[in-house]
Amino acid sequence: MSGGYVLGFTARREFAMTMREMSDCDIYADIYGFNGNSMVNRLRAFWQIENDTVTASTLNSLLDYAETFDLTEDEKIAKCRSIVSRLTGVKSPQTAPPTKEGFLSQDFPNIDFQKLPIEGSLLPIIEERWEEAKRCAKSEAYLSVVILLGSLLEAVLLGAATGKPREFNQSSAAPQKDGKVLHFAQWSLANFIDAAHEIGLLNEDVKKFSHALRAFRNYIHPYEQMISRFTPDKDTANISLQVFRAATNQLQNSRP
């Protein structure tokens, strides 16, 4: 955090959208403006105001984002992870963070869509979008790959949440308003990813790179892509394809 900016965010709209996804809060609301109007000052106000659960969940998501895009040093990441552990009371695993190369090298079996926790009537749509995403990757239509797979990941995680409502609603990642957990229709993809990881449905590496796919998907808006100077490439598409393979492989056993 330097020069008033946070991580790689240089535009207020991009930062606000990411913070809303991670915390369900409007970081540019008046309540967070008492330290000043820069991203850094508003984030510091957020840390001062919000409870430990919301602060830890949001900080953890920001750290996943930073690791995925190599936006800060490992020492800073480790120090911040220890803060998350203190806030949550859950000790961080003493393992090396998953790398992009290691994640992409994993070999996952073909997806058995029949075993996924989704409605039967939705299966043909899910399967067709998966096949279309693979065709787009071969045709070098990389932005289309990201958009398709982001929607697929959200659909499958929503299905998992619908099948295990108690576990998802009781997780610390469940978004709340006025002390009540929001209906699944009001959850963000970030909420679903973090909750699925917390209750043991997604491994750490899949959680981390699912957040990368979520971040990629935000650039469906041309303005966001312009201000972020983001151009999806083959590497982006491969990460997105691998995320969906890995997530569906781990979610197959969650169907009630």
Per cent of the chain over pLDDT 90 is 34
| Rounded Cα–Cα distance for residues 133 and 8 (Å) | 28
Phi, psi (5° rounding) for residue 177?
Answer: -145, 125
Beta bridge partners of 180: 177
| Rounded Cα–Cα distance for residues 117 and 254 (Å) | 6
CA atoms within 13 Å, Cβ hemisphere of 123:
10
Residue 144's pLDDT is 93
Domain 100-254 annotated CATH 1.20.120: yes
Task: Look at residue 140 and tell me whether its pLDDT is greater than 90.
Answer: yes
pTM: 0.71
Residue 91's pLDDT is 64
Task: Look at residue 94 and tell me whether its pLDDT is greater than 70.
Answer: no
Q: Where are the domains of the chain?
A: 12-88, 100-254
- pLDDT top residue among 89 and 203: 203
